[in-house]
């Protein structure tokens, strides 16, 4: 009877968990995102801490340091100077955004749903306006506005922002209306609705996401504009960007008031994004695919 043999087995190392590489990639991604968050928030930190510094404390050498003594005097000076121009800016950007949005909606509806000979050429010419830089047409624009007798300041800026906003608003609405179901349009024709009735009763109530996109876009563009404001307004009738430039200029730099003014001027656009931002991406995606 033979003795039992004992087989020697080599221990097999346990395989690493399958989710280990995924976990490492997740940590690297979070680290990268945190890095970009810090990079983005650093200018905001400098703005905020400098706005609460006194005149002697607000210097470039101490830009990264917190205030030695917290003060709201810079905010008071900035608010006093910017308050009149803030009202003029609202009086300019709200009509400009609303008018250009409705004109873009009507243009987009006609170009998307009511085809006519030369529609593609008209749409191409409209889009061409998006690529014309302001600087290239500034002198002809000045001569045109003077020839039409449009007063400088808010009236001129409203006309200019409406005109320059039509190409982008038309593009957004045309792409959005291309995704409206054909059955709705056919049902409107069967019921005897014409172009205006179809637009006002059927298409316009469905245009909320597109309106959110163009209103945010136009509001932000008009609010942050400086070039048009520089040529077609002055410190007495201009928007907040002109007043902010005067606040930051001068022989004696008031850094605390300048930083406070920059924060005050950015609040309206920030509020608009907070209130309407969740519909912004959805509105853009709604018009990106036809179906």
How many domains are contained in the chain?
2
Same domain flag for 146 and 173: yes
Same domain flag for 166 and 99: yes
Q: Look at the chain and count its residues.
A: 291
Same domain flag for 85 and 174: yes
Q: Which of 16, 40, 62 is the last residue of a domain?
A: 62
What band does 251 get if pLDDT is binned at 50, 70 and 90?
low
The answer for residues whose C-beta is within 8 angstroms of residue 105's C-beta and 6 or more apart is 169, 173, 204, 207, 210, 211
In a domain, 12, yes or no: no
The mean pLDDT value for 162-183 works out to 89
In a domain, 16, yes or no: no
**Residue 225 sits in which domain range?**
73-286
Task: Give per-residue pLDDT as tens, 117-163.
Answer: 888 888 888 888 888 888 888 999 999 999 999 999 999 999 999 99
Phi, psi of 58 (to 5 degrees): -85, 85
Task: Give per-residue pLDDT as tens, 102-123.
Answer: 999 999 998 888 777 888 888 8
Q: Which of 39, 62, 85 is the last residue of a domain?
A: 62
Same domain flag for 176 and 142: yes
Same domain flag for 48 and 167: no
Is the sign of the CA dihedral 236, 238, 241, 245 positive or negative? negative
The CATH number given to whatever domain includes residue 153 is 1.10.3720.10
Does position 219 have pLDDT exceeding 50, yes or no?
Answer: yes
In a domain, 291, yes or no: no
In a domain, 9, yes or no: no
Q: Greatest CA separation found in the chain?
A: 121
In a domain, 7, yes or no: no
In a domain, 4, yes or no: no
Same domain flag for 93 and 222: yes
Same domain flag for 102 and 236: yes
In a domain, 215, yes or no: yes
Same domain flag for 35 and 138: no
Same domain flag for 78 and 199: yes
In a domain, 1, yes or no: no
Could you write out the DSSP letters of every residue in 165-206? HHHHHHHHHHHHHTTS-HHHHHHHHHTT--HHHHIIIIIGGG
Provide the b/e sequence for 159-170 (b: ≥16 CB within 10 Å): bbbbebbbbbbb
The mean pLDDT value for 72-82 works out to 91
Q: 């045309």: which residue's tokens? A: 174
What token pair was written down for 238?
Answer: 């201009």
Task: Give per-residue pLDDT as tens, 195-207.
Answer: 888 888 888 888 8
How far apart are the C-alpha atoms of 31 and 221, rounded to whole Å? Answer: 33
Q: Which of 14, 40, 62 is the last residue of a domain?
A: 62
Is the sign of the CA dihedral 157, 163, 168, 174 positive or negative? positive
Residue pair 129/166 in contact by the 8 Å Cβ criterion:
yes
Q: How many CA atoms lie within 13 A of 62 on its CB side?
A: 18
Full-model pTM: 0.81
Same domain flag for 101 and 36: no
Same domain flag for 37 and 92: no
Same domain flag for 30 and 159: no
């Amino acid at each position: 009877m033979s003795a039992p043999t004992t087989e020697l087995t080599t221990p097999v190392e346990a395989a690493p968990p399958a989710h280990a590489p995924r976990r490492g990639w997740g940590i690297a991604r979070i680290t990268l995102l945190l890095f970009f968050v810090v990079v983005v928030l650093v200018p905001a930190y400098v703005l905020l801490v400098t706005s609460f510094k006194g005149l002697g404390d607000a210097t470039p050498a101490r830009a990264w340091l917190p205030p030695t003594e917290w003060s709201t005097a810079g905010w008071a000076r900035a608010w006093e100077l910017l308050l009149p121009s803030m009202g003029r800016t609202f009086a300019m950007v709200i009509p400009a955004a609303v008018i250009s949005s409705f004109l873009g909606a009507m243009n987009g509806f006609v170009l998307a749903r009511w085809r006519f000979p030369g529609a593609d050429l008209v749409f191409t010419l409209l889009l061409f306006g998006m690529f014309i830089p302001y600087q290239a047409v500034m002198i002809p624009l000045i001569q045109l506005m003077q020839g039409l007798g449009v007063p400088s300041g808010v009236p001129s800026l409203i006309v200019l922002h409406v005109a320059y906003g039509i190409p982008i608003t038309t593009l957004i609405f045309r792409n959005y209306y291309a995704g409206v179901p054909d059955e709705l349009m056919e049902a409107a024709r069967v019921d005897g609705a014409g172009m205006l009735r179809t637009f006002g009763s059927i298409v316009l109530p469905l245009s909320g996401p597109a309106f959110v996109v163009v209103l945010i876009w136009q509001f932000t563009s008009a609010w942050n504009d400086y070039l048009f404001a520089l040529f077609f307004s002055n410190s007495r009738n201009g928007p907040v960007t002109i007043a902010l430039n005067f606040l930051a200029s001068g022989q004696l730099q008031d850094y605390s008031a300048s930083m406070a003014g920059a924060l005050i001027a950015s609040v309206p656009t920030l509020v608009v994004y907070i209130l309407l931002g969740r519909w912004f991406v959805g509105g853009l995606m709604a018009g990106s695919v036809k179906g």
